[in-house]
Amino acid sequence: MHVHELIAMIEATAPPRWAASWDRSGVQVAAGRKRVGKLAVGLDPAPVLIDQALAWGADFILVHHPLTLKPELPALSNGYHHVLGALLCHDAWLYAAHTSLDVQPRGPVRWLAGELGLNNVSVLEETGRRLGRWFRILGPKERIEQVAQGLEGRPGVEVYALGARALEVVAAPGRDFEVYGAISGAEDDTLRVVSHELDLPVESLGFGFVGEMPESSPWEEFYEVLKRLTGGTPRALAGIVPEKVSRVACCPGSGASLLKRVAKVGAQVYVTGDLKYHDAQAARELGYLVVDVGHFVLEERMMRVFSEELRRKLTHGAVEVAFFPGFDFLSSPS
């Protein structure tokens, strides 16, 4: 697969234009090679993970956290220097899907919502709105038929024939990549395409999510389920323990900045990481319970889910996908 095709597939789930302004999502290290045969996926571009991926033969490495958030010269012989050297020596790509992935409402960031069976899920802090898109596609009969067949059965895409040489297509928010994929190819110059954004429907993008439990659950039962899903006892519980849990909020990674927002949406439990002393104090004053499962566990599972999604999409391609487990740097020293 051409590297630009793989990047387009990644960015269909995590478009860089939706990343936070301070972030550095996207290509971290470019390589000379243009074909990708092995894709490695992991959480951090840590030296150990990079070395393992390169030893496996990866020519493209996808991670969540950027290599650096600000320009940095490799002036010291440290982990940053090691990673740069290893990637350049192996002519391998490094790509980070960071906040571009975090804000996607239908992306792997919501894996916990799926496991808990949450209903009516919405974002906690909206950072943008994605609109649907309308297309009119004109071209030779054979090419129009090819496009129509390519779009048949695609989720979130409605196709209307306007005669033998024209199609009208309506793509739901976030599904326009399906249309762009169908109209791309060697014969692009035979098609004429007009498109524009629609006022409706609208899909909110943003950090964190909140949703309703399928049925109200006693706290003790909910807590046991949460421990099973997140791999053990949380780092900390802070705030007011509820008798029943009917509404749950979550922000993978560091979610302390959303504490007040959680109170406004009426969640009894907020699952996140990186809780500090004064955050715990605020949670008690706000009247709900914060469950700190750590920065690592929710995002590690998110990237594993992302790797599985990419593996399914690449089943019939020539790209092998492997997930490389990371290391929780806040766990017990080894």
How much is the pLDDT for 52?
A: 98
Measured CA to CA, the distance from residue 237 to residue 250 in angstroms comes to 14
What one-character DSSP code corresponds to residue 25?
A: -
Q: How many of the other CB atoms lie within 10 Å of CB of 77?
A: 9
Distance CA 232, CA 44 (A): 22
Cβ-proximal residues to 215 (8 Å cutoff; 6+ apart), any chain: 246
Tokens for 267, please give them. 């969640």
Sheet holding 93-96, edge to edge: 26-29, 93-96, 60-63, 38-41, 320-323
The tokens describing 203, both together, are 């899909």
Mean pLDDT by 10 residues, the chain (334 residues): 92 92 97 97 98 98 96 90 97 98 95 98 95 94 92 92 93 89 70 92 93 98 98 94 98 97 98 96 97 97 98 86 94 62
| Signed CA dihedral, 39, 43, 46, 52: sign only | negative
Dihedral sign for Cα 78, 65, 12, 56, please.
positive
What's the pLDDT score for residue 185? 59
pLDDT at 333: 59
Burial code (b: 16+ CB inside 10 Å, e: under 16) for 282-311 equals bbeebebbbbbbbbbbbbbbbbbbbbebbb
DSSP string, 92-157: -EEEE-SHHHHT-TTSGGGHHHHHHT-EEEEEEEEEEEEEEEEEEEE--HHHHHHHHHHHTT-TTE
Distance between CA atoms of residues 199 and 291, nearest Å? 38
How far apart CA 227 and CA 212 sit, in angstroms, is 19
Domains of the chain: 3-98+299-323 (3.40.1390.30), 108-127+205-297 (3.40.1390.30), 129-203 (3.30.70)
pLDDT of residue 186: 47
* Cα–Cα dist 279/296, whole Å: 19
**Per-residue confidence (pLDDT) for residue 180, from 0 to 100:** 87
Calculated CA dihedral for residues 255, 261, 228, 61, nearest 10 degrees: -40
